[in-house]
Amino acid sequence: MWDAQRFFRAVQAHGGLMSWDEAVRATEETLLSLRQVLPEDVSLLMRAQLPAEVAAFLDGGPAETDPLVDRELFVGPLVNMLDTEAALDGSLGGLDLVSVYAGDDAARRIQAVFAVLKQALDPQTAAAVETALPGEVAQWFHGAQP
Amino acid sequence: MSENGVLDTKTYASPYRPTWCPGCGDFGILAAIKAALVDLEIWPHEVFIVSGIGCGSKLPQYIFANGFMTIHGRPLAVATGAKLANPDLHVLVVSGDGDSYGIGGNHFLHTCRRNPDITHIVENNQIYALTKGQYSPTSDVGFRTTTSPDGVVELPVNPVAVALAAGATFIARSYAGEPKHLKRTIMAAMGHRGYALVDVLQPCVAFNKVNTYNWYAERIYDVANDDTYDPTSARDAWERGTEWGDRIPIGILYRREGVPPYETHVPALADGPLVDRDLTARLDPGLLEQLKREYV
């Protein structure tokens, strides 16, 4: 069984993240999205194999899976935590929007979490997770290199 | 129509790719609307989607159905006109919190009391996002934006309370991060005969870093899971509708059936809706020329 320190350190390394906090945040938001799409039995299997601090991020999900969660909604929680605006825009007012890049950044961070999950979970559970994911996100999971 | 002639979400696929930010709650709302229309077996020619101005108001371009993007704050007025002209249409309004409760607040009040048979889906992200981050009518006190650098000082509009006080006959709240719940709520709203408000809590991933997916996930709960909750009770609706903070109720908060919709008792439509009338037969050519001289 992995411990939480090892898990977050591995996410930080895989994602090339600047800080420990970013690794924790990427893990938390990825699992927040996962709990929307994972069947209860798969979620229970995951919790049993993950460090308690990581498994806790799966707590409190909806009672049933949501088949309408797609790639965009999956990255949403993580994009919500990333820098999406730059300085004040002097020409039009408001903030200068850079969120278009945040989607790719979020996808990269999610893949880092997936890579570590694939190491921490047994192959059957990892396969069940991949099956439950929306199309493009399943490809990210499949392609994540431990 | 799908290639096989079957009604499914592909039937509603638009050739245009949304320009929303990655992860925007509007994606969940779009998916829920499509799924609801399919489950209700409504074809694109049977639905009319009216929007205003804002990020979410771009939605009619992203769904293959009749659509009309109106000016800011006016979609309810246009939708009411469309419903009067052709009551057989399923009329949806999709507009943001600024559009619906700010500049369109007057139309919101009067639509509640008129009770036309239209479904109003409000993308409530508590910020003006298309214009890049100004506080909106539903922003919480203390929320810092470019137009509230010291934090918002006025109380937010509570759309549930306002709709209830104004006489709305169906009031619901849902969450863009749970599109399955939203789909069910939209289906119930469309099944209601009269004005139906669906206030959709929606994270703005770019400009609202307070009311995030995480923030909502920790707070929302469905009143449908509370056996003591009675959605026909205005008292229950008021109590839950004004609950906001550590716990936020979603679901069908209020419904009152049996109130005739506006379009059924407008005297000018006693002879039937405009869409069924032969308007050209009544047009006096002399009167037409006179009007042209006067106004053109």
**In the structure, what pLDDT confidence band is assigned to residue A88 with cuts at 50, 70 and 90?**
low
| Domains of chain B and any CATH numbers | 9-267 (3.40.50.970)
The beta strand positions in B52-168, using DSSP E, are 66-69, 90-96, 118-124, 127-128, 134-135
User: Residue B281 CB: number of other CB atoms within 10 A?
Assistant: 6
pLDDT at A96: 67
Q: What is the DSSP string of A36-96?
A: HHS-HHHHHHHHHHS-HHHHGGGTT--SS--TT--HHHHHHHHHTTS--EEEE-TTTSSEE
The tokens for A105 are 């950044």
pLDDT at B66: 97
> Which sign does the torsion angle of CA B95, B97, B98, B101 carry?
positive
pLDDT at B90: 98
pLDDT at B237: 98
The yes-or-no verdict on residue A99 having pLDDT over 80 is no
What integer is the mean pLDDT of B158-168?
98
Interface test with A, best of B131, B145, B213, B225 (most A CBs within 10 A): B213
* Closest CB to B217 among A60, A96, A103: A60
* CA gap A114, A145 in Å, rounded: 8
- A-B contacts at Cβ under 8 angstroms: 121
**In the structure, what pLDDT confidence band is assigned to residue A91 with cuts at 50, 70 and 90?**
low
Of B197, B178, B185, which Cα lies nearest the Cα of B94?
Answer: B197
Query: Which phi and psi (to 5°) does residue B257 adopt?
Result: -90, 165
Nearest CA in chain B to A89: B132
pLDDT at A101: 82
- How far does B289 lie from chain A, in Å, by closest CA? 47
The yes-or-no verdict on residue A116 having pLDDT over 70 is yes
* CA gap B147, B135 in Å, rounded: 6
**In the structure, what pLDDT confidence band is assigned to residue B278 with cuts at 50, 70 and 90?**
confident
What integer is the mean pLDDT of A38-42?
95
The yes-or-no verdict on residue A40 having pLDDT over 90 is yes
The yes-or-no verdict on residue B241 having pLDDT over 90 is yes
pLDDT at A32: 96
**In the structure, what pLDDT confidence band is assigned to residue A84 with cuts at 50, 70 and 90?**
confident
A60 contacts: CB under 8 Å, gap ≥ 6: A35, B217, B218
pTM: 0.93
CA torsion A146→A133→B218→B145, rounded to 10°? 80
Q: Give the burial class of A2: count Cβ atoms within 10 A of its Cβ; 0-12 exposed, 13-18 middle, 19 or more buried.
A: middle
Nearest CA in chain A to B147: A94
* CA gap A73, B202 in Å, rounded: 11
pLDDT at B132: 86
Q: Tell me which chain B residues have a C-beta less than 8 angstroms from the C-beta of A102.
A: 21-23, 205-206
Place of tokens 């026909």: B232
pLDDT at B139: 97
The tokens for B62 are 């992203």
B49 contacts: CB under 8 Å, gap ≥ 6: B33, B59, B60, B63, B65, B66, B67, B68, B92, B93, B94
The yes-or-no verdict on residue A133 having pLDDT over 70 is yes
The yes-or-no verdict on residue A45 having pLDDT over 90 is yes
Q: What's the distance, CA A139 to chain centroid?
A: 14
Q: Give the burial class of B270: count Cβ atoms within 10 A of its Cβ; 0-12 exposed, 13-18 middle, 19 or more buried.
A: exposed
